[in-house]
Structure 1
């Protein structure tokens, strides 16, 4: 039974990861089209005589949040591709995706309605992620550039 599983698993893994990549590509493509259309509508409505600076700030909030969610999706595809090709999860990519996700959440947050503990937690999380990424990069730069070593995953 173990030999059958060992023989079948690589095909199963390729099928799953290939399917995930194609699904993510489709979702990101649709999200990018919707994002571009929403920006077009926002720009068009901004030139309405009743538009204000507050409206512009709300639009910019949405634009930055939308941009970061698309970047997050692209980074996730890159992470899946890297694992699919090298069977290694890149730590720096995990840090980058987490930092982008937290940044997106902070950008889209309504600070007037946010719980102070939530703000404190997000601030701590952002600091912890960037500090962890910085420490990881310093350690990675000190190591020899052997890509097959265990320190690069």
Structure 2
């Protein structure tokens, strides 16, 4: 992991999760190629909600289906390519090859259920972990690369 940069945000409701995804989108670097953001949390914690808001914030105006069954939903956006990836049904790192994982480095990879392939944490830039709290949800953003740390340190939350 890169230098330790962690930021925490309390999310009172779905609107706050959407606002977080929108804010993340508006502060991403101009060049998205090669970036990877991991989205971690229990079922229903809001991973897809944040991902959809981020995609909308980057200019996606059409449908934003869950990649649960397709595994990868690609988007050609004004900001660049984005791949929304769901690894819930993946058994391990060896299955990434069949998904064409290496070919996805020409855009931003938003990865749900990254714990299914722990090696991803070594190459990720940011991990956003969502957890239930008594008053809603908590989002913990943790840097895993130097550029992720620099970006996270300046992110207005």
Alignment TM-score, normalising by the size of structure 1: 0.26
Give the structure with the larger helix fraction: 1
Work out which of the two has the higher radius of gyration on C-alpha atoms and give 1 or 2: 1
Alignment TM-score, normalising by the size of structure 2: 0.25
